[in-house]
């Protein structure tokens, strides 16, 4: 496994590998790797000749009240995890390397962002789309791997790839969960023991919503209420949102039909947890 910090070196290395006919799988991250990232890396390892992991804390996707400087960083730990997961190349650029001057062009996302977490984070997905565009041009992957834990981000990247005609296959990897169903997240450590026990109810609430639909319910409000009621009955958390949209378009629905997402965010004392499930409704 090698670490590359310079863009030109990264591009030259990948060009040489692609000219040999090798396929490239890419997992972009901001580091501080956890089991969700490992699942992406293992999937990429299974499906490609070369696996590239990028570690870059992107300042463009942090809002004015979000502390870029406090974002956790531990490259030595990430290096060990990456090596165990079978990564070939870590692309580890500095902020100056990625943004040597104020950008003259950035990417603006117009759709799929005014709902769910994007509603309270204006500009966040513009920053995501801009850095991912740059990384796609630098790494030149055949396949890019993103986790469905952040289904809104997957939807935005899907639109980016389609609209800009990137010759890249988007691989959306299922959410990695604890045995009791709780989505794995670095934020879970901020839950108290009681809250941790309660938190398994979030996935159970989504399953309750899914079962309600499978039983024949097609009214959005009725399904939302079933999910919210379950959360409020089984946790001390405060519901931030429970929403149901078409997926990946993330458009409101009058009646439930086609591919949809059930998504939620719940605030506990020191952690805000998100989760979702995507399903097809006939």
> Tokens 């988007």 appear where?
170
Q: Which residues are annotated as a binding site?
A: 30-37, 61, 147-150, 153, 176, 184-187
Task: Give a yes or no: residue 48 inside a domain.
Answer: yes
Q: Are residues 127 and 6 part of one domain? A: yes
Q: Are residues 117 and 7 part of one domain? A: yes
Task: Give a yes or no: residue 178 inside a domain.
Answer: no
Domain residue limits at 24: 2-173
| Number of domains forming the structure of the chain | 2
Q: Domain holding 102: CATH number? A: 3.40.50.620
> Tokens 């834990």 appear where?
149
Q: Domain holding 260: CATH number? A: 3.30.1300.10
Helix axes 220-234, 193-214, angle to 10 degrees: 160
Q: Are residues 151 and 34 part of one domain? A: yes
Task: Give a yes or no: residue 131 inside a domain.
Answer: yes
Neighbours of 281 (CB within 10 A): 14
Q: Are residues 135 and 44 part of one domain? A: yes
Q: Are residues 161 and 76 part of one domain? A: yes
Q: Is the dihedral of CA 218, 221, 227, 229 positive or negative?
A: negative
Q: Are residues 16 and 87 part of one domain? A: yes
Task: Give a yes or no: residue 179 inside a domain.
Answer: no
Please give the positions annotated as active site. Answer: 37
What distance, in Å, lies between the first and last C-alpha atoms of the chain?
46
- Give the DSSP H or E segment for 173: strand 169-173
| Sequential pLDDT tens for the chain (282 residues) | 999 999 999 999 999 999 999 999 999 999 999 899 999 999 999 999 999 999 999 999 988 877 788 888 999 999 999 999 999 999 999 999 999 999 999 999 999 999 998 998 889 999 999 999 999 999 999 999 999 999 999 999 999 999 999 999 999 999 999 999 999 887 888 899 999 999 999 999 999 999 999 999 999 999 999 999 999 999 999 999 999 999 999 999 989 999 999 999 999 999 999 999 999 999
Q: Are residues 244 and 207 part of one domain? A: yes
Q: Are residues 235 and 133 part of one domain? A: no
d(CA 154, CA 145): 9
Token pair in block for residue 176:
């990695």
């Amino acid at each position: 496994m090698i670490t590359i910090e310079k863009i030109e070196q990264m591009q030259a290395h990948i060009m040489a590998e692609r000219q040999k006919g090798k396929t490239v799988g890419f997992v972009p991250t901001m580091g501080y790797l956890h089991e969700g990232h490992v699942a992406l890396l293992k999937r990429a390892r299974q499906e490609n000749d070369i696996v590239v992991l990028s570690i870059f804390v992107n300042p463009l996707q942090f809002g004015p009240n979000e502390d870029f400087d406090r974002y956790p960083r531990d490259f030595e730990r990430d290096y060990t995890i990456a090596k165990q997961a079978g990564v070939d190349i870590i692309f580890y650029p500095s902020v100056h390397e990625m943004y040597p001057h104020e950008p003259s062009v950035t990417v603006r996302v117009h759709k799929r962002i005014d709902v769910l977490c994007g509603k309270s984070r204006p500009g966040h997905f513009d920053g995501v789309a801009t850095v991912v565009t740059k990384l796609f041009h630098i790494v030149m992957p055949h396949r890019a791997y993103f986790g469905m834990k952040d289904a809104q981000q997957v939807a935005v990247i899907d639109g980016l790839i389609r609209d800009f005609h990137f010759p890249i296959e988007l691989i959306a990897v299922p959410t990695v969960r604890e045995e009791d169903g709780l989505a794995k997240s670095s934020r879970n450590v901020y839950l108290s023991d009681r809250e941790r026990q309660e938190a398994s109810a979030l996935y159970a609430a989504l399953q309750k919503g899914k079962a309600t639909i499978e039983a024949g319910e097609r009214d959005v409000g009725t399904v939302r209420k079933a999910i919210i009621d379950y959360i409020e009955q089984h946790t001390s958390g405060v519901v931030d949102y429970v929403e149901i949209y078409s997926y990946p378009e993330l458009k409101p629905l009058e009646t439930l039909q086609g591919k949809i997402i059930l998504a939620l965010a719940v605030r506990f004392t020191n952690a805000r947890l998100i989760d979702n499930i995507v399903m097809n409704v006939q």
